[in-house]
Amino acid sequence: MNFELKAITEQGRRYVTLCEQHATDFALRAGDHDRKGTFAFENIEDLKGSGVMGACAPEDLGGLGIESVHDFAVGISRLGRGDGSTAIASTMHMFRPWRLTRRLKAMRNSDDAAASSIAASLRDMSSGKTVVAALLSEAGTDLVHPLVEATRIDGGWLLNGRKIFGTLCEAATVFEITCRFKDTSGDYQRAIATVPSDAKGLEIQNDWDAMGMRASGSHSVSISDCFVPESALVVAGPWGVWNEGILVSTGVINLALVAAFLGIAEQAHDNAMTSTKGRRRGSDQTALADSPAIQHGVAEMEIDLAAARAMLERSARSADDYLSTHADSEVILADLLDMAKDIQVTKWFVTRKAVDIVDKAMTLSGGSGYLGSNTLSRLYRDVRAGPFMQPFSPNEAFEFIGKVSLDSFE
């Protein structure tokens, strides 16, 4: 029996096939981009050309019609097999059509300007005209406590601050920037500002120099007196509070990102199996596959991979079951906290098992995987980014899981 994750919808199967085709091409370029630390613009162009970047938009608006969170994640896992950097970078954009489609679906019987605007945005994302990067992370704080400040002026706002880990920023035409502002009572509110990437006051720092994911373009972005029109800043709730909208968004993104790291582990597993089956050693040229120690290592890899796939599939299907039957106006905070807890358990388990699988693949390589020319050396470094994907970092994840389990989350 093959435990490989499979799409569960017809649209999903078409999408996953495209992702598999792209992964084959991306793998040929990944080593060069990794060595140079360059962003794989050509990969993003390929994804736009095939429709994968707009996969989660409705078919009548130019997308592939992917609504299933499970299928979305499966496709990202396939991209992860080819190039983890492109997999996480494309996720940052591909989630946006999923979220907008969900909003539009709730407005289907409406003729108002908001629905027309969302539909136009989805068409632009599907065609590749618009590529969105989310600027969320900041040093010294978390996702619900952004420190980028929005100050009201005539006709809009001025943004000031700095974002880090701006994955995909080099290819983006639009930034979604989380920020805060003071309301009339003096309390902070959290907001999201939509800003053209070439807006005055935005500057990509070109400072991404990491151990792994070297081709993800995750630079810092400085923001200095960047003007945002009134209509381009949307209130997202009280500053510092986890609400329904944030939990839905971060949950879906987390599942897709976890899938990227599963894909990295799958590729390492396949590389190790191919190498091990074909190798012999010693004066008598004994088959490596006949060694009990090698067999033990392979068995551990198989067990970890099966468990990681099962965890991700269960969580993604559970998210589908809930989100497909509850519009945004119907979701319940307690339900979403339980779903988020489940996703964090899955994230913790799968990203760590992914690291273990790549470690075992490296051991099975007998030292050749340590060489820079071997794909395993890149996979070994890339997979280690998994546990640090927000939310949550490892220590914060334990706190969140514990609080929700003990009904002490505030």
212 pLDDT above the threshold of 80: yes
Instruction: Clarify whether residues 98 and 31 are in a common domain.
Output: yes
323 within a domain of the structure (yes/no): yes
Looking at 195, 217, 238, which one is the last position of a domain? 238
The larger pLDDT score, comparing residue 107 to residue 290, is at 107
282 within a domain of the structure (yes/no): yes
Spatial CA neighbour of 57 closest among 72, 41, 40, 74: 72
Contacts of residue 99, Cβ cutoff 8 Å, sequence gap at least 6: 248, 249, 252
285 pLDDT above the threshold of 80: no
Phi, psi torsion values for 223, nearest 5 degrees: -130, 115
The arithmetic mean of pLDDT across residues 129-135, rounded, is 97
Q: pLDDT-based confidence at 29, cuts 50/70/90?
A: very high
284 pLDDT above the threshold of 70: no
The arithmetic mean of pLDDT across residues 361-373, rounded, is 85
71 pLDDT above the threshold of 80: yes
80 pLDDT above the threshold of 70: yes
Instruction: Clarify whether residues 259 and 396 are in a common domain.
Output: yes
Instruction: Clarify whether residues 185 and 319 are in a common domain.
Output: no
Instruction: Clarify whether residues 119 and 168 are in a common domain.
Output: no
Using the structure block, give the residue that is written with the tokens 């914060």. Answer: 396
**CA distance linking residue 364 with residue 276, whole number of Å:** 7
106 within 8 A of 327, measured Cβ to Cβ:
yes
349 within a domain of the structure (yes/no): yes
Instruction: Clarify whether residues 397 and 298 are in a common domain.
Output: yes
Looking at 185, 215, 238, which one is the last position of a domain? 238
What's the domain count of the chain? 3
The arithmetic mean of pLDDT across residues 83-93, rounded, is 97
Q: pLDDT-based confidence at 59, cuts 50/70/90?
A: very high
Give the rounded distance of the alpha carbon of 14 from its chain centre: 20
Q: What are the pLDDT digits (tens) for 294-339?
A: 889 999 999 999 999 999 999 999 999 999 999 999 999 999 999 9
Return the pLDDT at 109.
62
* Structural domain containing residue 224: 149-238
The arithmetic mean of pLDDT across residues 76-80, rounded, is 98
Instruction: Clarify whether residues 326 and 376 are in a common domain.
Output: yes
Spatial CA neighbour of 81 closest among 406, 359, 296, 379: 379
Return the pLDDT at 278.
73
Q: What are the pLDDT digits (tens) for 264-281?
A: 999 999 999 988 887 767
Q: pLDDT-based confidence at 1, cuts 50/70/90?
A: low
Mean pLDDT, the chain, as a whole number? 94
307 within a domain of the structure (yes/no): yes
Q: Which helix (H) or strand (E) holds 289?
A: none
410 pLDDT above the threshold of 80: no
Return the pLDDT at 288.
72
Spatial CA neighbour of 218 closest among 298, 163, 140, 264: 163
Instruction: Clarify whether residues 80 and 25 are in a common domain.
Output: yes
Report the CATH number that the domain containing residue 219 is assigned in CATH: 2.40.110.10
Report the CATH number that the domain containing residue 90 is assigned in CATH: 1.10.540.10
Instruction: Clarify whether residues 227 and 366 are in a common domain.
Output: no
Instruction: Clarify whether residues 350 and 335 are in a common domain.
Output: yes
pTM of the model: 0.95
Contacts of residue 274, Cβ cutoff 8 Å, sequence gap at least 6: none
Q: What are the pLDDT digits (tens) for 371-400?
A: 888 899 999 999 999 998 989 988 899 999
381 within 8 A of 291, measured Cβ to Cβ:
no
Instruction: Clarify whether residues 271 and 292 are in a common domain.
Output: yes
Instruction: Clarify whether residues 300 and 381 are in a common domain.
Output: yes
Report the CATH number that the domain containing residue 343 is assigned in CATH: 1.20.140.10
Instruction: Clarify whether residues 295 and 382 are in a common domain.
Output: yes
Looking at 217, 238, 259, which one is the last position of a domain? 238
293 pLDDT above the threshold of 90: no
250 within a domain of the structure (yes/no): yes
410 within a domain of the structure (yes/no): no
116 pLDDT above the threshold of 70: yes
